[in-house]
Structure 1
Amino acid sequence: VCVSGSAGHSLQPPAQPQQQRHEVMRSRHQTVASGWWQQLHRCSLHGCGVCITRQLSDHLSSDNHVVFFLPAQVLICRNYKGDVDMAEIDHFMPLLMQHEEEGLVCPVMSHGKVHFMWIKHSNLYLVATTNKNSNASLVYSFLYKLVEVFTEYFKELEEESIQDNFVVVYELLDELMDFGFPQTTDSKILQEYITQEGTKLEVAKSKVPTTVTNAVSWRSEGIKYKKNEVFIDVIESINVLVNANGSVMSSDIVGSIKLKTMLSGMPELRLGLNDRVLFALTGRDKGKTVVMEDVKFHQCVRLSRFDSDRTISFIPPDGESELMSYRINTHVKPLIWIESVIEKFSHSRVEIMVKAKGQFKKQSVANNVEVRVPVPSDADSPKFKTSTGNAKYVPEKNMVVWTIKSFPGGKEFLMRAHFGLPSVENEELEGKPPITVKFEIPYFTVSGIQVRYMKIIEKSGYQALPWVRYITQSGDYQLRTNV
């Protein structure tokens, strides 16, 4: 892995891990890679008889080194197998700039026999190199996992955080992958024996971290809480695109079930959803059920149990985690409907009227609603009148933001905006951006999904309290208008 930045030289890697870590490394080579790598190990990369673990090595990191780049210099580079010359990475930025000039930028670029696969995060480039026919999807999964892990450690992944913590970065790179084998990729597990102070590594002298060799690698043993609780959040985001005629062109629901677990010991949890939920490819009649697609579970879920009887059974990670995510491809009625009218007077001023209507249950309330209305770039002298909430002009974004803190279901509100318009000749050239809406509705799911039960089983027999919260929020919520 290489990282580059504006500094005039690369940060050199620290010395190789000490002898006390060798026992950890050997044991980890004998375990199945943690997290999402478990799912990747189930798939054949080429359909041939080669060992899948070996294929994952050869086709994920293989001969590569992964790179962090700023547009000037390499910040950090780790060459895992030595099959690619370290100097090859110097060709990446000139190659990228050449492709940008030609308008041919693509995620995979080649120089001779070396291929560069890259992503950009903030002002950094993360680049993996290989000279083989690698599985690009696995390489990109690993690059995005690097971003996730480093963000967990340093809060902000940027040039300064890399330079200030380069020793920790190198240690993490060695733990995430060893000689081309993906290893522990869970940041919570990594934090057990790699800290920004580097002190926890001494524990490995006498004991291998239990999360590395334990079958339940995502949860440590010996966790204790005075009060045992588990908080469940069912969060659904609505994506809607409405055309200027008021017809819904596309819509879907993206949902997730998130946990905050504060439970002692090694409990087993069983989660039951209401009867409306139907997972894709079950073969049952859909009827009035909700069909979940693209379902993705946390590694803690027992997939064999789920495949047999649709029970979501798992030993949860400690603290916060995402148990599952899903998508529902269905027609969604816009929960907040927007109508807009524009009137022009003598080519010198314009009046915009916007009506917002809550199309959800009357007993529900949308919080922190923002209606963002585009206005001409040369508009000036704004004046507003609203039936509720506040409106303000944001000239740098050429929009009016109408904010309503509390929006009950079934209610209608109006906003009028007056602008001076010194020139209208360029009106057609500017285009007509859509109105966008942001909102959050607690205690409500648009799909009707509900948690029917949560059973907590632990050998000590303690009583635990499960808490459930439902939230529906806007995702990509756009309404095209004639404004």
Structure 2
Amino acid sequence: MITAILFLNEKGEIVLVRNYRGDIRRSTAEAFRNAIIVKKETKQPIVQIQKSTFFYIRENNIYVVACANGNVNATVIFESLYKLVAAFKAYFGGVFDEDAIQKQYGLIYELMDEAFDFGYPQNIDPDVLKAYIMQGKPLSVQKAQQVSMHVTGASSRPPNIVHQVNQLFIDVIEQVNLLVSSKQTILNAEVIGQINLKVQLSGDPDCIFGFNDKLFLDQHNDSQGHVKRKTNRDTLELDDIKFHQCVKLSHFSKDRTISFIPPDGDFTLMRYRVSERVVKPPFHVVPIIIEHSRTRFVVQVTVTSTFSAHFIATSVVIKIPIPTNSARLQSEVSVGSTKYEPTQHAIVWKVKNFPGGSSNQFRANVQLLASVVQGAPWSKPPVSMQFLVPMATSSGLEVLFMNVSESKLHYHADRFIRYVTRGGNYLIRYPDKVGVGEDRRTGTGGQVGYGGQAAGQFGIAAPKK
């Protein structure tokens, strides 16, 4: 995997080197310095020089460079470098620069030896490293249990936990990322989600969690076991899943069962990603520019909510860019308020409550400075949007059950579920063609979705207790 990790300052001087396999010479580091640092050009983060491949990131005035030979996984290497820098910051009070390296080089070598084994990433999580690499302090039993949990997945629950009320809170939080082209076609759409738990359970409970996972429901039917389909919603296929260390991966690999002994308190049970084939954008945004003269034009933005009228989006913020040479503007909206932000060169449209199945419009008359109209053409940054939709999921994920059993105490645990969808990088580009002529209002009425297809219903998951 990684043959060596180099730390170079902004002049290209070697500050520290950890050679894991002994096959990197000083001349190799000089070659990287001459190719990247001396030329002062923006280059790709992966560079092949001679027979070595360099993967590098920059943090303050330090280049952190991983050197490898052969065909390696670039994603793993970059993730390892960023986690390594995060671990250094955790030890150095949030600071990582040349002075910190020179003052703490002994600790850095110790951390790198624990983080990598013969160049292969092992434990790079700052919380794990801080649990058993301490300066002069003995390792407590509790910290040792935490290390074992991170490495082996074994339960780290302290013994004899007692809660007066046994309850479990489940939060399904999703972030929708969307990029729409100037022709109103979706270029990229994805949902990044996570399921957070707040556990207040006595003893050592065994938990089994289930959602509308297609593969899970295909393997568990009514005649075979304890799982019955309790939803009329479509099943869901996740592209990527990352579980907490407490989840028994052998069970999941065998029959898609998510079973675990949870730690006490708050933690993230799983993270997941869903691609655009099943993502249903909660808002359809259509920006239009109508030009009346060389110094005056109109911007119109129509926003339509595609989810059910039973739900209401809150904290809706639409940022509408305008040219930097704007001299005067006048805006009007069907609902909410607008404010010009000169530092962002944009009009910010805020809507407190946006019901599902409704449409609202923004319209602004923009006057440009005649003296600077002949300058470079406006780049037309995309319209961006932020929002919050309570009790809804854009992916369609729905929690089906959370079974809790404790072999000694035999109690009943209360369960509470909450769904939240947020806007992430939600971007809609202006059209390439600019309309010319009289002012005219243009809207979609919510009948047409992106790419010329009917706007599908936003996936709604009702709360359960």
TM bucket normalised to smaller = 0.7 to 0.9
* Aligned position for 1:312: 258
Show the 5 A alignment for 1:74-113.
74-85=14-25, 88-97=28-37, 101=41, 105-113=43-51
Cα deviation code 1:243-264 (max 9, x no counterpart): 4454445534333323344556
TM-score, normalisation: structure 1: 0.71
Quote the Cα distance in structure 1 between the aligned partners of 2:62 and 2:167.
40
CA contact (8 A) 2:312 2:354 kept: yes
CA contact (8 A) 1:218 1:317 kept: no
Q: Matched residue of 1:473: which SS?
A: strand
Amino acid at match of 2:116: M
Amino acid at match of 2:36: L
**Post-superposition offset of 1:470:** 1.0
* Aligned position for 1:237: 175
* Aligned position for 2:355: 408
Cα deviation code 1:11-57 (max 9, x no counterpart): xxxxxxxxxxxxxxxxxxxxxxxxxxxxxxxxxxxxxxxxxxxxxxx
Q: How high is the sequence identity, in percent, across the aligned residues?
A: 33
CA contact (8 A) 2:289 2:300 kept: yes
**Post-superposition offset of 1:421:** 0.5
Stretch moving more, 157-166 or 442-451: 157-166
Q: 1:343 to 1:446 in 2, by over 3 A?
A: same
Q: Matched residue of 1:173: which SS?
A: helix
Amino acid at match of 1:259: L
Quote the Cα distance in structure 2 between the aligned partners of 1:480 and 1:99.
35
Cα deviation code 1:397-452 (max 9, x no counterpart): 33222122332223333333333212485588334332221112121112332112
Quote the Cα distance in structure 2 between the aligned partners of 1:362 and 1:109.
53
Show the 5 A alignment for 1:137-152.
137-150=75-88
TM-score, normalisation: structure 2: 0.73
Quote the Cα distance in structure 2 between the aligned partners of 1:110 and 1:153.
32
Show the 5 A alignment for 1:363-378.
363-378=310-325
Q: 1:350 to 1:157 in 2, by over 3 A?
A: farther
Q: Matched residue of 1:362: which SS?
A: coil
Amino acid at match of 1:176: A
Q: Matched residue of 2:139: which SS?
A: helix
Q: 1:238 to 1:181 in 2, by over 3 A?
A: closer
Unaligned runs of 5+ in 1: 1-59
CA contact (8 A) 1:223 1:263 kept: no
Q: 1:358 aligned to 2:311? A: no
Quote the Cα distance in structure 2 between the aligned partners of 1:261 and 1:185.
26
Q: 1:73 to 1:381 in 2, by over 3 A?
A: farther
Stretch moving more, 407-416 or 456-465: 456-465
Q: 1:241 to 1:117 in 2, by over 3 A?
A: closer
Q: Matched residue of 1:144: which SS?
A: helix
Name which of 195, 211, 214 aligns with 1:273: 211
Q: 1:480 to 1:378 in 2, by over 3 A?
A: same
Quote the Cα distance in structure 2 between the aligned partners of 1:368 and 1:161.
44
- Cα RMSD (Å): 3.9
* Aligned position for 1:253: 191
**Post-superposition offset of 1:270:** 1.0
Show the 5 A alignment for 1:440-459.
440-459=388-407
Q: 1:212 to 1:241 in 2, by over 3 A?
A: closer
**Post-superposition offset of 1:150:** 4.3
Show the 5 A alignment for 1:167-182.
168-180=107-119, 182=121
* Aligned position for 2:458: none
**Post-superposition offset of 1:371:** 1.0
* Aligned position for 2:144: 209
Quote the Cα distance in structure 2 between the aligned partners of 1:321 and 1:155.
25
**Post-superposition offset of 1:330:** 1.9
Q: 1:220 aligned to 2:151? A: no
Q: 1:92 to 1:393 in 2, by over 3 A?
A: farther
Q: 1:443 to 1:403 in 2, by over 3 A?
A: same
CA contact (8 A) 2:155 2:263 kept: yes
Cα deviation code 1:191-229 (max 9, x no counterpart): 32235xx354x237x999244556744653526755465
**Post-superposition offset of 1:379:** 0.9
CA contact (8 A) 1:147 1:157 kept: no
Q: Matched residue of 2:250: which SS?
A: helix
Once superposed, which parts of structure 1, at least 4 consecutive aligned residues long, lie more than 6 Å away?
A: 280-284
Quote the Cα distance in structure 1 between the aligned partners of 2:95 and 2:51.
31
* Aligned position for 2:274: 327
CA contact (8 A) 2:239 2:272 kept: no
Q: 1:342 to 1:221 in 2, by over 3 A?
A: closer
* Aligned position for 2:236: 290
Quote the Cα distance in structure 2 between the aligned partners of 1:165 and 1:430.
49
CA contact (8 A) 1:347 1:422 kept: no
**Post-superposition offset of 1:380:** 2.2
Unaligned runs of 5+ in 2: 221-232, 435-465
Cα deviation code 1:331-354 (max 9, x no counterpart): 544322223343444433333233
* Aligned position for 1:187: 126
Q: Matched residue of 1:397: which SS?
A: coil
Q: Which has the higher helix share?
A: 1
Quote the Cα distance in structure 2 between the aligned partners of 1:344 and 1:245.
18
Amino acid at match of 1:455: N
Instruction: Count matched residues.
Output: 414
Cα deviation code 1:142-176 (max 9, x no counterpart): 22332454466668464389458666544432321
Q: 1:282 to 1:152 in 2, by over 3 A?
A: farther
